[in-house]
Structure 1
Amino acid sequence: MEMVKTQSGRKPLGAQVNIPPRRMDFDFSKAPRNGYANDEYMTTFWAAFSALFPKGESFFVEAVRPYRNQIHDEILKAQIAGFIGQEAMHSKEHISFNKFFAKQGYPMDKLDHDVGKLLSLIQKYAPSRFQLAITVCLEHYTAIIAEYCLKADDMHRMADPEILKIWLWHALEENEHKTVAFDVYETVGGSYTERALVMFPTTIILAFMFLWFHSRLLAHDKRLFSFKKNWAGTKHFWGRGGMFQGIVPQLLDFLKPDFHPKQHDTDELLDLWREKLFGEKGILNEQLNSVQNKKLVF
């Protein structure tokens, strides 16, 4: 793993527990319009997914942050610092990624506004523990989808190399901090019954928002009802052997009373990808702003 140090020579808290906040600087200026399999359906699938992140990641941070002072375990406190740092960077880079799609005419600002409006209502009316439970549920989704992204050889082949970089980086970090919100939730008294019950409306709303967003992006390309053209993408993500069929078993694990994210062991996978992305010949070393990282403290 790369060493992230402050000017005083000490690693930030997150880096001390293998959750280092990495300040990245992705450049999509040379990326193609249809950067996934040269296909509008597949490309806008990931664009719709990205549209959820800037406001969504900020929601996660604000759901966890209020409980920081209630945590006495020094390791978990350091993990919270890493979680906040990584999620802040995810918001920043997905804003940049979404601007790439906005320049092509996609209504990314409207999608971002709609996510923000929904999450603002939740923050205004829902109790803080309920917001934390929602975060735990959504972090489960991001963790298992991230694991899929790191393992999916077909995705690595089909995605444009520059666009693939943001997803590999994001996927790595989602798995690095996948236990944090869950551990905070349990530490402050969150129950199995509550998190299991919260997962159902969270899943329904997430599915609705994603499908609605993807439909709007497809409509922009006049592809919404082009069933023949969309068939390959539909099979790729939703069909037999596709992405969602692959993550269903892990998704359902969440409903087990004794579930914990660490049961999905990704330690070896993360070691492999840390080396691929940030090792001596790491493919993301160019994007890693080392000067800014030395100053980054959470």
Structure 2
Amino acid sequence: MSVSVLKEKTKQKTPASFPVRRMDYEFADMPKYWCNNEPTFTHYFTGLSTLFPEGESYFVRSVRALRGQIKENEQLDRDIGAFIGQEAMHSKEHHAFHLSAQQYGLDPESLEKITGTMLKAIEKTFPKKWNLLVTVGLEHYTAVLVVEMMKNVNELMTDETIRNLWLWHSVEETEHKAVAYDMYQYLYGQGLSAYIPRVAIFTFSIALITLMSNVYQVMLMSRDKQMLNLKSWVKFAGFTVQAYRKLVPQFFSYYRFNFHPNDTDESEIVAQTKIKIGLSPEQSTFIH
């Protein structure tokens, strides 16, 4: 047997480290205010959600643009394939959620289009390395947020289908949180020349996503004619202050020179969340 044939057989037997799950949620009966029964909470998370379809498509393009350079690392290549599969499903399901939300006249799909326009402009301006770094940084941002989602925030969601959407997404973000980072490290190393652009692009990315998510919340509140609902704004402000006291130190861990996404272990909360939403082996397809 030739060496090339042996390598190909070995590669075929190398599965990804995590599965791609085929989900198909139905959102038709969702209430108008499905998070804490409040417009501010609901519109914040809807605004955040509108970043995902175009954002995760951008993530997929950023890793695909450089994937050809990591083919020798078979495990990483398979994990990138699974990462692409998971992100594609997230885009699909969040888009379906936004279409269902049209029934309340809030048009969250229009915010997806704004996100897409902005990200395509960034993609054209940035070199491939920087586009990958936007993905790396925002994967860390998301990985921090989803732990809080699994631990606490999901309890505010009164609609079971929307809660399950966010929890399924949270599980998978935790599963693939290190893939883009490992790809960057494999391609560009761990020295100062890799560190400086990593933290610089992260600073840009976290500022952008914070700005966009807050602007989208305000736009949705305006469309819903709830801008002067001071009681709801006060409740959301209290929630935000409490949440960010916990989140900010974790976001900033990214600035450590020797940072790695797997420095933290979320296996226990992920296991609990899988049980909570009934994820079973039948819902998992491993990439081989």
So what's the TM-score if we normalise by structure 1? 0.85
List alignment gaps of at least 5 residues for structure 1. Answer: 1-11
So what's the TM-score if we normalise by structure 2? 0.88
| Counterpart-to-counterpart distance in 2, 1:120 and 1:13 | 34
Q: Tell me by how many angstroms 1:297 deviates.
A: 5.7
Structure 1 partner of 2:33:
34
Q: Tell me by how many angstroms 1:219 deviates.
A: 0.4
Residues 1:206 and 2:209 are matched in the alignment = yes
Structure 1 partner of 2:64:
65
Residues 1:159 and 2:158 are matched in the alignment = yes
1:70-89 to 2 correspondences below 5 Å: 70-71=69-70, 72-89=72-89
| Counterpart-to-counterpart distance in 2, 1:150 and 1:113 | 28
| Counterpart-to-counterpart distance in 2, 1:90 and 1:149 | 16
Residues 1:181 and 2:184 are matched in the alignment = no
- Matched-pair contact (CA < 8 Å) for 1:15–1:82: no
Which of 132-141 and 159-168 deviates more? 159-168
Structure 2 partner of 1:110:
110
Which of 103-112 and 86-95 deviates more? 103-112
Structure 2 partner of 1:248:
248
Q: Tell me by how many angstroms 1:129 deviates.
A: 0.4
- Matched-pair contact (CA < 8 Å) for 2:19–2:287: no
Structure 2 partner of 1:6:
none
Structure 2 partner of 1:270:
270
Q: 1:13 to 1:192 in 2, by over 3 A?
A: farther
| Counterpart-to-counterpart distance in 2, 1:13 and 1:49 | 38
Matched letter for residue 122 of structure 2: I
List alignment gaps of at least 5 residues for structure 2. Answer: 1-10
- Matched-pair contact (CA < 8 Å) for 1:14–1:21: no
Structure 1 partner of 2:119:
119
- Matched-pair contact (CA < 8 Å) for 1:13–1:78: no
Match of residue 226, structure 2, among 223, 241, 247: 223
Residues 1:47 and 2:50 are matched in the alignment = no
- Matched-pair contact (CA < 8 Å) for 2:78–2:287: no
CA deviation digits over 1:111-164, x for unaligned, max 9?
Answer: 111101101111112100000011111111110101111111x53254322210
| Counterpart-to-counterpart distance in 2, 1:38 and 1:55 | 27
CA deviation digits over 1:222-260, x for unaligned, max 9?
Answer: 222332332112211x12xx2222211110100000000
Structure 2 partner of 1:9:
none
Structure with the larger helix share: 2
Q: Tell me by how many angstroms 1:265 deviates.
A: 1.1
Q: 1:15 to 1:86 in 2, by over 3 A?
A: farther
Structure 2 partner of 1:131:
131
- Matched-pair contact (CA < 8 Å) for 1:47–1:101: no
Q: Tell me by how many angstroms 1:167 deviates.
A: 0.3
- CA RMSD in angstroms comes to 2.3
Q: What is the aligned-residue identity percentage?
A: 33
Structure 2 partner of 1:171:
170
Q: 1:41 to 1:123 in 2, by over 3 A?
A: same
Matched letter for residue 36 of structure 1: C
- Matched-pair contact (CA < 8 Å) for 2:174–2:266: yes
| Counterpart-to-counterpart distance in 1, 2:147 and 2:123 | 29
Q: How many residues align?
A: 273
CA deviation digits over 1:14-61, x for unaligned, max 9?
Answer: 993332110101111122111112111111111001100000000000
CA deviation digits over 1:154-203, x for unaligned, max 9?
Answer: 53254322210000000000000000000001111061111111111112
1:20-31 to 2 correspondences below 5 Å: 20-31=19-30
Q: In structure 1, the residue corresponding to 2:23 is in which secondary structure?
A: coil
Q: 1:162 to 1:13 in 2, by over 3 A?
A: farther
Matched letter for residue 260 of structure 2: H
Q: In structure 1, the residue corresponding to 2:225 is in which secondary structure?
A: coil
Structure 1 partner of 2:15:
16
Structure 1 partner of 2:92:
92
Structure 2 partner of 1:146:
146
Q: 1:42 to 1:14 in 2, by over 3 A?
A: farther
